[in-house]
């Protein structure tokens, strides 16, 4: 998981938003922690989305895991729309 850590510098950006804060258990030490998803715009104009997890794609469909989540699906649609991608 990824999270915002104030002691580390943020990437160069013109805007930056933490979209979510999800509770997780750190696998290294077993302690509670949080994962953050973020959205920011780089100085060159590119939008960047960081899901905070490599498991984001699991919630997009039901392929063999039964983990589809309508909230993650809609969030993905919203982010892609912001990026200028039309829904098929």
Q: pLDDT tens, 16-69?
A: 999 999 999 988 999 999 999 999 999 999 999 999 888 888 889 877 778 899
In a domain, 1, yes or no: no
In a domain, 2, yes or no: no
As for how many domains the chain has, the answer is: 1
pLDDT at 88: 65
**Residue 39 backbone dihedrals phi, psi, to 5 degrees:** -135, 130
Residue 73 domain boundaries: 15-82
> pTM of the predicted model, to two decimals?
0.77
In a domain, 4, yes or no: no
Q: Is 39 left (phi over 0), alpha (psi -120 to 50) or beta?
A: beta
In a domain, 46, yes or no: yes
In a domain, 87, yes or no: no
């Amino acid at each position: 998981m990824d999270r915002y850590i104030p002691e580390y510098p943020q990437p160069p950006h013109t805007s930056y938003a933490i979209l979510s804060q999800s509770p997780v258990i750190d696998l290294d030490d077993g302690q509670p922690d949080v994962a953050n998803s973020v959205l920011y715009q780089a100085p060159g104009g590119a939008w960047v989305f960081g899901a905070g997890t490599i498991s984001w794609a699991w919630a997009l469909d039901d392929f063999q895991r039964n983990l589809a989540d309508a909230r993650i699906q809609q969030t993905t649609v919203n982010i892609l729309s912001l990026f200028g991608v039309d829904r098929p």
